[in-house]
Chain A
């Protein structure tokens, strides 16, 4: 479990994340949603330690990350896996080398064990026969899946995804969502996904945190998000005409 306590962050006097407290539970997909510029990415980067918060704390299973020294942070970071919006695969390395990279850096596995682990990770993201291809030679959807494979290579306890299905067609986006959810359950990870894709919320939003102008506006799950009664949240959800139609239809039936 990851716990965020009264976390705030500002840049040049402008508050971007304001007094956010929440819990991200183990073994489930926790979504942070909100409009562009609502502070989702900054909150995620504060949790990851890429930004130092102005105030507040981040606890990883009770371990206070914000107060840790660099060496302790480094050790904890080996328990984290991250899937960036653009994949962030290393351009100069092949698919296999990308996934093997954390294994080379942090394990004493033999080359054969590493290859087995790479293939295990690739199988889990449904990729075969792409080991020797470079990131520029594979599609966007495949790059995301390779990024997921790299993120799980060290068997992390915590998985972070920053808009994992942005720029993908709906079918591939669904595949990525399902993949993240199944991996979360299989490996019992605490997964945090940053998204503004409502399809992801409805598909895998076991726990949803809605941010508005840097503040926590609503918290719940996919089961009650459509009937939250929160105007700001409704404006966000039903900006997508498809959901507005679905809501109207369900009201008519009711």
Chain B
């Protein structure tokens, strides 16, 4: 019953979020602010994590490729497809749920417990729409771009680490990442990223918007938001993979 209550309240909140904005100009200003706060600031962490994961993937694929009959270029191919199909969208989603999600919950939660949200409501402003809509739009817009960046940096990571540790030559790796490229894999990854972006923004916003109590509760809500978002990302990953890839 408790679960159903949260589902119902989440959709009730979304209905308010997507109501007609009071003043478009203010919302667009907010949107640019959120694009910078939630998007641009995440580029660094995405690049660093992707570089390392790309390198690690390359080493692990080489370690598992024990049959000498298999060409070494399969390492590049394996790294590329793993990054595109799973890592860059799903793992990035999980990481971003921690970074962006906890940020959203604590920001909105703090506003809630310090009565700033009540203040907006009394002014006659739809607080859910004003605070959450720009965040959802910003994250859904920026997420596919981060996924593309992640794929790129992951491939660069493999390109640097593979030849550096001697598990694959530069030529073999490049041959591998160019071999049997299926553009639909990228489309699939970008479709997933749109869903994950929506979850990463809206679920933590829900936990922040309905927090009650003080700073301690905001912290707890932040943790619950990240855990719930991660579970939902994995659930949607499963559903989307089943629907779009099999």
Contact = CB atoms under 8 A, between A and B. Distances in A.
Interface of A: 48, 50, 73-78, 80, 82, 84-86, 88-91, 101-102, 104-106, 160
B114 A50 contact: no
Contacts of B110: 91
A84 B22 contact: no
Contacts, number: 51
Interface in B105-137: 110-111, 114-116, 118-119, 121-125
A77 B124 contact: yes
Contacts of B118: 50, 82, 84, 88
B2 interface: no
Nearest to A71: B124
A82 B23 CA distance: 21
10 contacts: A76-B124, A77-B123, A82-B119, A88-B114, A88-B116, A89-B116, A90-B119, A105-B22, A105-B23, A106-B22
A89 B124 CA distance: 16
A105 B26 contact: yes
A102 B23 CA distance: 11
Contacts of A89: 116
A19 to B, nearest CB: 25
A80 B116 CA distance: 15
Given A88-B114, A88-B115, A88-B116, A105 B125 contact: yes
A73 B126 CA distance: 12
Interface of B: 22-23, 26, 110-111, 114-116, 118-119, 121-125
Interface centre among A78, A84, A85, A105 (most CB of B within 10 A): A105
Contacts of A75: 124
Contacts of A105: 22-23, 26, 123, 125
Contacts of B111: 90-91
A159 B202 CA distance: 34
A50 B122 contact: yes
A86 B123 contact: no
B125 A50 contact: no
A76 to B, nearest CB: 8
Closest CB pairs A-B (n = 9): A77-B124, A88-B115, A88-B119, A74-B124, A84-B115, A82-B122, A88-B116, A78-B124, A102-B123
Nearest to B125: A105
Nearest to B130: A105
Which of B23, B26, B114, B124 has the largest count of A CB atoms less than 10 A from its CB? B124
A123 to B, nearest CB: 22
Given A84-B118, A91-B114, 12 more contacts: A48-B122, A77-B122, A80-B122, A80-B123, A82-B122, A86-B114, A88-B114, A90-B111, A90-B119, A91-B110, A104-B23, A105-B23
Contacts of B125: 105
A91 B131 CA distance: 14
A105 B23 CA distance: 6
Given A104-B26, A105-B23, A105-B26, A86 B124 contact: no
Contacts of B122: 48, 50, 77, 80, 82, 160
A152 B122 CA distance: 13
B115 A78 contact: no
A248 B7 CA distance: 61
Given A85-B115, A86-B115, A90-B116, A50 B26 contact: no
A244 to B, nearest CB: 34
A82 B115 CA distance: 11
Contacts of A76: 124
Nearest to A89: B116
B41 to A, nearest CB: 15
Contacts of A78: 123-124
A74 B22 CA distance: 11
Q: Which one of A50, A77, A88, A90 has the greatest number of beta carbons of chain B within 10 Å?
A: A88
A106 B124 contact: yes
Interface centre among B26, B110, B125 (most CB of A within 10 A): B125
Contacts of B124: 73-78, 106
A75 B110 CA distance: 27
Contacts of A90: 111, 116, 119
A109 to B, nearest CB: 13
A50 B115 CA distance: 11
Contacts of A77: 121-124
A48 B121 CA distance: 10
Nearest to B124: A77
A16 to B, nearest CB: 16
